[in-house]
Chains A and B, each alone.
Chain A
Amino acid sequence: MKVDLSFKGVTGRAIADRRLKTAIDRTTMTAETKRRLALMDYPQFEAARARGTAIKDHVVANLDHYLEEFERNAVASGAVVHWAATAEEACGIVVGLCRQAGARHVTRAKSMLGEEIGLPHALEAADIERVETDLAEHIIQLAKEAPSHIVWPALHKTREEVAELFRVAHGRPQDSEDVPAMVESARRQLRSLFLGADVGISGANFLLADTGGVCTVTNEGNAELTTTPPRMHIVTAGIEKLVPSLPHAYALLRLLVRSATGADITQYTTFHTGPKRAGDRDGPEEFHIVLVDNGRSRMLATGLRDMLRCIRCGACMNHCVVYRQIGGHAYGATYPGPMGAVLTPALEGVEKTRDLPHACTLNGRCQEVCPVGIPLPTLLRGWRDTSWKEGLVPGSVRAGLWAWRFVAERPRLYRLATAAAVRAMRLFGRRGWIAGMPGAGGWTDYRDLPAPAGRTFMEQLRDRKTGR
């Protein structure tokens, strides 16, 4: 049987997958509730959001300045700073550094940027054994899958599936009813791998311009166990991660963590500044930071400046009606949900990804919850506009819209047409609902359509005005 790989085909299968829906609901609904409770204890959220937005806008408006300041201070702390304009360049730099370190195995702490640039594949292609240390990333590495959420990459996996993956990979029986025991199994499995790694790779939540420091946040503590024991620590970070200084990072941290998990702060928040120093008890001898552009400077030039504020909290997808129906994989890209539907066309080109900005109801929930006030619906509409202007919209849709426009621009014709339409539609109605009608299958196959009132709004208004 031929599998339909179009966006429609993929989402159709995702919607039919009840198990997936349950898995998505479990995590996103908890996240939604916990965020709401966290904000009840933080009435300062609106003010903090305005401040966070202003901080990120300030950084983006002076990004060249802050990148240079960061580089200067990072180098002064003993770090080596690399620049990568593209994903390929970034992967090339990381693989080159691993080879230079004679690395056989590397540990990696979850980083969405690493996924974006295809680092897992690049390391595999270079025959470097990679151990994912974030528990969710460990699960999807074993399952040979991609993340389906930016905060909970394995959100689509049930505990039964995890138990089976661990049974094979850890070589120990697992009880899917005992989640703590499964976590313990992963802890045992990964502990020696942490300590035996040659290189540790992490991402960055913030880059501090005034010290050259790199901030990582985790709840598991895997980032520190990844970056402390090996000889070399490599950071891959998007250029938009900069902040002027530590207190700016703290202000954003309050927004990030509450929006992501509903906690007030992550269990482990670490600022890494340079390599091991004289007398230090542990830490990497070499500290490398790869600053990655991969389309970000182009976003700044092409009306997507607001998106560069994104702090990757995941709140927009947790609150998205579409994401919650189809899950992350259906988006077919590293970043799913509303932020993904804006970012993916920027990263991969709108020709291949034009379905994503269209898979949105524009209900505006994402913008409401976004801790840095990104106007996601407006940006999505921007992509729809681009896709129309570039002639990417299918001919049938274009023809339909042209026809509608033709009628809509002629008020008398429009009134005539709508009056005829509401009367025709009533013929298909039963007790106020239409269960089926020629040309309406796209709607009525799944639910009934309310039958319209007997006369159009304009007709009723006219009657009212003339007092009939």
Chain B
Amino acid sequence: MSARDTILGMLRAALGPHRPDRAAIAAEAAALLADPALIRPALAAEDPVEAFAARVVSPKVNATLDRIGALAGLPAAVGRYLAAQGLAPEITVQPDPVLRALDWTGFAVRETALPDEAVALGRARWGIAETGSLVFESGPETAVLNHFLPLHHLVAVAAGDILPYLEDHAAVMGAAPRNLNLITGASGTTDIEGSYVRGAHGPRFLHILLIGP
């Protein structure tokens, strides 16, 4: 008998003969998602965009935030950040058509993050106000390592793509991408005597560029 048969057989023996059918199981699973308002925390502000903005700079997320009115202002905002950090204008830009279409004159731009990348810019598909998370879906225009190799992770997200709650993201997401990455702050660890240190394996700095009025 295969391990699969053994395991399923043991489970069925333990669960007994009277079992709900598929439809009943599905109905029960759906009922477990009813009234999500009962089980989720209040947002930091009524407006999801404001809640998101407040959340990401709070100690819970500890990112830095730059709000820019329009997408066209993104390269200048990136330039400001690099200058303030004393970094060269040399970055990896996620090969996302929206980002590539911008005018990057004055920057040395790469498509793929180096093993020891200093700065990478990405564009989040969504932002989640509840947690301050940035959501990325891997694909031809989004490399996963782009979010993990750089020391400074810069992320553009449109105000129109901010969702209130985690459940709202589950509702708008289409087919599952290979990797769905929720990123909430910079990499951190408390593994040595519980003291919090940033930049464990992933980025040490997360800088969010929130685009829109």
Question: Which A residues are closer than 8 A to B by beta carbons?
Answer: 23, 26-27, 30-31, 41-42, 44, 47-48, 51, 54-55, 58, 61-65, 67-68, 77, 83-85, 89, 133-136, 139, 152, 154-155, 157-159, 162, 179-180, 182-184, 186-187, 190-192, 194-195, 208, 211, 213, 219-222, 224-225, 228-229, 239, 244-248, 250-251, 253-254, 261, 263-277, 279-283, 291, 293, 297-298, 300-301
Which B residues are in CB contact (< 8 Å) with A41? Answer: 41
A267 touches B7 (CB 8 A): no
Q: What are 27 sample pairs from A and B whose C-beta atoms fall under 8 A apart?
A: A27-B190, A27-B194, A44-B38, A51-B32, A54-B32, A55-B32, A62-B19, A64-B11, A67-B7, A135-B200, A152-B190, A155-B194, A183-B189, A221-B187, A221-B203, A228-B144, A247-B167, A248-B33, A250-B169, A251-B33, A264-B130, A267-B188, A271-B176, A271-B179, A277-B178, A281-B144, A300-B10
- Chain A residues with Cβ under 8 A from B105's Cβ? none
Name the interface size band of chain B: 35 or more
Chain B residues whose CB sits within 8 angstroms of the CB of A27 once the complex forms: 190, 193-194
Q: Is A135's CB under 8 angstroms from B192's CB?
A: yes
Q: Is B112 close to A, CB under 8 A?
A: yes
A265, B148: Cβ atoms closer than 8 Å: no
CB contacts under 8 Å to A, within B1-51, are 2-4, 6-8, 10-15, 19-20, 22, 25, 28-29, 32-33, 36, 38-41
Q: For residue B41, which residue of chain A has the nearest CB?
A: A42
Q: Write the nearest CB–CB distance from B181 to chain A, whole angstroms.
A: 5
Partner of A270, one of B4, B182, B199: B182
List the B side residues contacting A83 at CB < 8 Å. 2-4, 7
Identity of the chain B residue whose Cβ is nearest the Cβ of A47 in the assembled complex: B38
Comparing B68-76, B78-86, B131-139, B154-162, the segment that makes contact with chain A is B131-139
A94: shortest Cβ distance to chain B, in Å?
Answer: 14
Decide if A224 touches B190 in the complex (CB within 8 Å). no
Interface residues of B (CB under 8 A from A): 2-4, 6-8, 10-15, 19-20, 22, 25, 28-29, 32-33, 36, 38-41, 60, 95, 112, 115-116, 130-131, 133, 138-140, 142-149, 166-167, 169-171, 173, 176-195, 197-203
Given contacts A27-B194, A254-B40, is CB(A191)–CB(B115) below 8 Å?
Answer: yes
A301 touches B192 (CB 8 A): no
A266 to B190, CA, bound (A): 12
- Our pick among B33, B171, B178, B194 for the contact of A26 (Cβ within 8 Å) is B194
From the candidates A186, A281, A293, name the one contacting B112 in the complex (CB within 8 A): A281
Complex: A239 Cα to B14 Cα, angstroms: 15
Contacts of B130 in A (CB 8 A): 264
Known pairs A83-B2, A269-B181, A281-B95 / 10 extra A-B pairs, C-beta < 8 Å: A48-B40, A62-B19, A135-B191, A139-B192, A219-B189, A253-B166, A270-B182, A280-B139, A281-B143, A281-B144
